[in-house]
Amino acid sequence: MTVETEARARPAANAARPLLRMQGIVKSFPGVKALRGVSLELHARHVMAIVGENGAGKSSLVKVLSGAYEPDEGTIEIDGVPLARGTHAAIDAGVAVIYQELSLINDMTVAENLFLGRMPARKGFVMMREANTMARGALARVGLDNVPPWMRLGDLPLNKRQLVEVAKAIARDARILVMDEPTAALQSHDIANLYAVVRRLRAEGMGIIFISHHLEEVFELADSAVVMRDGATVGARPMPEWTEADLVQAMVARNLESFYPWEAREYGPVVLEVRDLASAPLLRNASFTVRAGEIVGIAGIAGAGRTELLKTIFGALPATNGEIFVKGKKVANHSPTQGVRHGLVYTSEDRKLEGLVLEANIEENVALSSLKALASGGFVSRAKKRKLAQDASARFGVRASSVLQITGTLSGGNQQKVILGRATATSPVVIMLDEPTRGIDVGAKSEIYAHMVTMARAGAAVVMVSSELPELLGMSDRVLAMYRGSIVTEIARDQADSETVIQWATTGAGA
């Protein structure tokens, strides 16, 4: 489909009138009321953060605004004009949403993605040269001057694809930009870059809604913050009037116990030994051991080979050199199936690609990797399966109407909790967690940490990759730093401070 490129008629902006007004928005799904009458106002030149626990209703609110969900009740006005139903009306009114999971199409070019369904056209012919010129303009505004518009999108790294999403909003003349956890998959310097883009767009007059579980980001970037809880807004203040403690309190409505429930533990024998492990080209050389009951953190910057290390141990990437021993037994002919058989589990950082079957319900997803444990004589008891799924959900407080809810309809953070619940449903020997708290709210994070300790105390060896330094330092007994594909040092807990870890992770050497 194509549309002509004439400017769309819009009412003139009025400084006093809010750019966006949502009033009394109600949205129910079978078994859950996602939004119970939410109202908010967003002004031009303003960044508003929305924070709240997993399942609070943040993404649902955004989907109502974008026209993806039709509200049961409530009104939306943009510049005082009621917004018609549907996604096209929202786009025409200047609403652009960048979802929690990117929505671009890898097999199309950058330009095609930017104008998806609305390539500049005249008399039905797509104007390629105009499309490329407009694309270059939009790309330049997000700092992607070097990206050719005809490049295949999938050939760009993830951090750049994210910026293409922002460029797409610009190409569509958006006045309201909504970003649902935009930094979840980004590394720190990409985050800084995204902030700079957001600030520029704000200065140019956009109104921006920013959803994040990272409160430090909220304090750095937002002008105001709205807290959602159980489908309602429970607080809205300009940023200077919030403290971090107030925000957390408003989000979880209960007192959090010590955030990092780390404690010293007795260790058992070595259960995982890795010798000179490599998986060309990204993993070059890793040797280390982990004892039963230990929690080992792996630090490193993007591209250091952390995920590749876990995947190679698990059997999801081929080892091109080296050996792996689990409980002293050499793991040969390695594959994920073999890995599971040896008692290894691995939870991926990317729940969309490798984590879950989104069309299946929670019960099916939890049972997936534990079928062997459940089957006796080839027969899987329904009741056992149900129980396993219920226990797994309860362990991490998955917020769902029941274990029969389709996983794809869970909130982002709750999908992550299902992955963790599944991984820990059996009693693994070694549990490898890749960015386990990505997209997880503060309250649930603390529950996940507590469970890591419980698993370690029960004798599991826990290996965690995390880009969040506080969590790495807060939870690890020992930190291994990776640099350019190799483990370059091992730092004991009492020596592991952020300076030391950053030094090793960024230079591959000590101070």
Decide if residue 55 touches ligand ATP (CB under 6 A). Answer: yes
Q: For residue 272, how many C-alpha atoms fall within 13 Å in the half-sphere facing its CB?
A: 29
Residue 228 CB, nearest distance to ligand ATP (Å)?
A: 6
Nearer to ligand ATP, 134 or 444 (CB): 444
Q: Which of 411, 446, 466, 489 binds ligand ATP (CB under 6 A)?
A: 411
Residue at shortest CB range from ligand ATP: 413
Among 38, 44, 47, 58, binds ligand ATP (CB under 6 A): 58
**What tokens were used for 71?**
């509200």
Q: Which of 25, 59, 193, 316 binds Mg ion (CB under 5 A)?
A: 59
The one-letter amino acid at 388: L
| Binds ligand ATP (CB under 6 A): choice among 8, 24, 29, 258 | 29
- Looking at 222-303, list the stretches that DSSP marks H as alpha helix, in order from N- to C-terminal side: 244-252
Distance CA 268, CA 106 (A): 47
CB–CB of 481/299 below 8 Å? Answer: yes
Residue nearest to Mg ion (CB): 59
Here the tokens at position 84 are: 């018609």
Is residue 312 a contact residue for Mg ion (CB under 5 A)?
Answer: no
Beta-bridge partner residues of 209: 48, 178
182 is an interface residue for ligand ATP by CB under 6 A: no
Piece of the chain touching ligand ATP by CB under 6 A; list 48-56, 77-85, 86-94, 241-249: 48-56
The interface partner of residue 340, options being ligand ATP, Mg ion, none and the CB cut-off 5 to 8 Å by kind, is none
List 410, 419, 463, 480, residue binding ligand ATP (CB under 6 A):
410
User: Between vectors from CA 310 to CA 446 and to CA 393, what angle results, nearest 5°?
Assistant: 40
Sheet with 295-299: list strands edge to edge. Answer: 329-330, 321-326, 270-279, 283-291, 486-492, 478-483, 295-299, 461-465, 430-434, 344-347
**Of 27-35, 82-90, 142-150, 366-374: span binding ligand ATP (CB under 6 A):** 27-35
Single out the residue of 164, 181, 216, 107 nearest to residue 440, CA to CA.
Answer: 181
Q: How far apart are CA 217 and CA 109, in angstroms?
A: 31
Q: How is residue 12 annotated by DSSP?
A: P
CB of 72 to ligand ATP, least distance (A): 13
What stretch of H or E contains 58? Answer: helix 58-66
Could you give the 3-state DSSP secondary structure of residue 428? Answer: coil
Answer for which of 182, 293, 355, 412 binds Mg ion (CB under 5 A) is 412
Measured from the CB atom, is 96 or 299 closer to ligand ATP? 96
Smaller CB distance to ligand ATP: residue 111 or 410? 410
The region of 28-36, 164-172, 377-385, 463-471 touching ligand ATP under the rule CB under 6 A is: 28-36
Q: Cis before residue 436, ω within 30 degrees of 0? A: no
Query: Contacting ligand ATP (CB under 6 A), which of 19, 22, 34, 206?
Result: 34
Which residue is listed with tokens 């290390």? 309
CB 35 within 8 A of CB 60: yes
Of residues 27 and 141, the one with the C-beta less far from ligand ATP: 27
Nearest approach, Cβ of residue 39 and ligand ATP (Å): 16
Question: Applying CB under 5 A, does 120 fall inside the site for Mg ion?
Answer: no
Q: How far apart are CA 199 and CA 202, in angstroms?
A: 5
* 52 binds, options ligand ATP, Mg ion, none, Cβ within 5 to 8 A by partner type: ligand ATP
For residue 405, the SS3 value is coil
Q: Is 409 an interacting residue with respect to ligand ATP (CB under 6 A)?
A: yes
295 residue type, one letter: I
Q: Which of 40, 47, 52, 210 forms a contact with ligand ATP (CB under 6 A)?
A: 52
Rule CB under 5 A: say whether 416 interacts with Mg ion.
no
Around Cβ 225, how many Cβ atoms within 10 Å?
Answer: 25
Residues 412-471 that bind ligand ATP (CB under 6 A): 412-414, 441
What is the rounded distance in angstroms from the CA atom of residue 451 to the CA atom of residue 464? 13
CA distances from 480 to 145, 274, 425 (A): 37, 13, 27
- Binding characters for ligand ATP, 389-408, by CB under 6 A (x = yes): ----------xx--------
Q: From residue 2 to residue 41, what is the string marking binding to Mg ion with x (rule CB under 5 A)?
A: ----------------------------------------
Question: For residue 263, with 0-12 CB atoms within 10 Å meaning exposed, 13-18 middle and 19 or more buried, which class applies?
Answer: exposed
57 touching ligand ATP, by CB under 6 A: yes
- Of residues 435, 426, 412, 499, the one with CA closest to residue 63: 412
Q: Is 52 in the site for Mg ion (CB under 5 A)?
A: no
The verdict on 56 binding ligand ATP (CB under 6 A) reads: yes
The only residue of 51, 60, 319, 419 in contact with ligand ATP, by rule CB under 6 A:
60
Site residues (CB under 6 A) for ligand ATP? 29, 32, 34, 52, 54-60, 399-400, 409-414, 441
Site residues (CB under 5 A) for Mg ion? 59, 411-412
